[in-house]
Amino acid sequence: MPGDLESSLLKSQPSSPSSSSQASFSSSLDDLEYARICQEDKVESFRIETLEVEDDISVADTIVAPRPLPPWLRYSKNLVLALIPSFLHPVDPDATPKPLHPSAWLDGLRGLAAFFVVCHHWSLCTLTGEFRRGFMSDDTPIFLQIPILRLAVSGLSNVCVFFVISGYALSYKPMKLIRQKKSAEFAIATASSAFRRYIRLFLPTMITSLAVAGLAYFKLFELEPIPGPLITMFRPPALDNVWDQVVGWWGHFSILSDPMAKNLDRGRTFPYQPQLWTIPVEFDGSLIVFLAHVAFYRVRPSVRIFFLVCLLVYTIHSGYWQFFLFLFGLLLAALRFYGDDEDADYESNGYDWETLPHLSSPSYWRREGLRGFSAPISFIKSSKTYCISKKTLQLASFIGALWVLSFPEGSGSVAQTPGFRTISWLTPTRYGEGDGFWIPVAAVWLVSTIDQSQFIQPIFTGRVIQYLGRISFAIYLVHNCLIWLWGYHCIQFFSAITGIPLEANLSTSWGFVVFLSTCLYLPGVVCVADFVQRYVDVNAVKFAAWFEGKLIEKTK
């Protein structure tokens, strides 16, 4: 092919004198070389395209679909993935993190309180009773007795915080809908919450307690407890046959979950998971909150707050400290949207300082009364001194609430404890030593302070704290049985390898054994709780929503 091109080009050259023949011949050679290169490029390009087509065809012809994994291997893989905690699962680096809800600090505070309840029950089973006494109440002060620090091993203090958070969380959306004047949405939200509350609380409780009953039947709780601690946790009963075991469990669970019972302490004798005494209280307190939502829905915001304050005074005076906590959570939610409610009315009326006043607006009188002071108030609030003073007062309130929340509970040492013996003199007679009075008061004080302190709230919105909030209910459900299934084994193991006698006491050596055991026990609780949260708690919530959806009347 190149030869044909060369001969054709040579034949096409015209005759010329010798002076120009060399230049013409050189030009012909250049044209010939250029044509030859272009032709070779075309041929090579054709070959490459042909090879690519052939390669595509051959690759497509040789691809074989991968064979599916056998069922036993596929199920084993899924089981292994299910057992791995969620915080070890791979995370998509391109995924956009979800923004935190304005009340996300409630989840963090609840998670931290649940974690401290775990530490409380663990300390009861591994330490002596001296650590529950007030700090400096005797000649042998202990590190865990120090106020605020002792909250890490306090039970009632953290449970009271639970109840306030529950009242707040259950009331947040209804109070917001009331502010927005959405009557239909308020009715749907309140009815849905009331309908699903029983399932939400007692279905996970039923599943986990039934699992504990099954483990007890197989004699997995027969390990000897540690001698010398303050208490020994209830050993779940193990009966002779499966039928008796199930019937015995159901008899106890039916008492725990009785929705019509009037005894708030009906869960105290539940032998399978004694810490679940709070679940009936949660249910009864939730019903009180739902009733208050409906009863005070149509009244003005100021009237609603007035009636809530009256109920709070009545409940704490009458000894119903549990309902006092739930209702105070409702009051906090109402106060959160109280100012917003006035602002919404103010804005909806189109009020402007230069127009005629809207006398029907509740915020009008407050704004008009402060008209002459608006400039000085704005100047004061914008000053650096005001911001520092405000944060200082909020921090002092936060520390003060934590200190009162550290009230020595059930120790009989309040009268000998510096600081607390002073406020114990102010305790109503109904409350004895005062732990049932001052701890609930401190719990509402603490939650109120955090709710108003935006610079304190980030303490409870970190990733770890938010994770604890997500698994808080599961932690509460599983931690007690794991003392028998895991914690006591850890204690025995470290006692054996260190040669320290297996008996709770105040010695440093025993404290070292407890510390090492705690480093294994707490991660075990978190891992089991993570599994229960993903496969029990979440599915219980979904089931409650599905069940309600199947029963509600469809509207066109």
**Model pTM?**
0.80
CA distance readout (Å), 215 to 183, 312, 321, 482, 520: 49, 43, 36, 11, 21
By C-alpha distance, which of 286, 283, 85 is closest to 203?
283
Q: What are the domain boundaries of the chain?
A: 105-349+406-551
pLDDT tens, residue order, the chain (556 aa)? 444 544 443 444 444 444 444 444 344 445 545 455 455 554 444 444 444 444 444 444 455 556 666 666 666 667 777 778 887 777 777 777 778 888 899 999 999 999 999 999 999 999 988 888 888 887 788 888 899 999 999 999 999 999 999 999 999 999 999 999 999 999 999 999 999 999 999 999 999 999 999 999 999 998 888 888 888 777 899 998 999 999 999 999 999 999 999 899 999 989 999 999 999 999 999 999 999 999 999 999 999 999 999 999 999 999 999 999 999 999 999 999 886 544 444 333 333 333 333 434 444 444 445 555 555 656 566 677 878 889 999 999 999 999 999 999 877 788 788 888 888 888 888 888 888 999 999 999 999 999 999 999 999 999 999 999 999 999 999 999 999 999 999 999 999 999 999 999 989 999 999 999 999 999 999 999 999 999 999 999 999 999 999 998 776 5
In the numeric block, the tokens 């120790």 are attached to: 411
Q: Tokens standing for 370?
A: 């402060």
Helices (H), 278-373: 278-295, 301-318, 321-336, 338-348, 362-369
CA distance readout (Å), 480 to 123, 169, 472, 488: 12, 26, 14, 11
Distance between CA atoms of residues 524 and 530, nearest Å? 10
Q: Are the C-beta atoms of residues 505 and 511 closer than 8 Å to each other?
A: no
Q: What is the crossing angle of helices 338-348 and 301-318, to 10°?
A: 170
In the numeric block, the tokens 């399932």 are attached to: 199
In the DSSP assignment, the letter for residue 533 is I
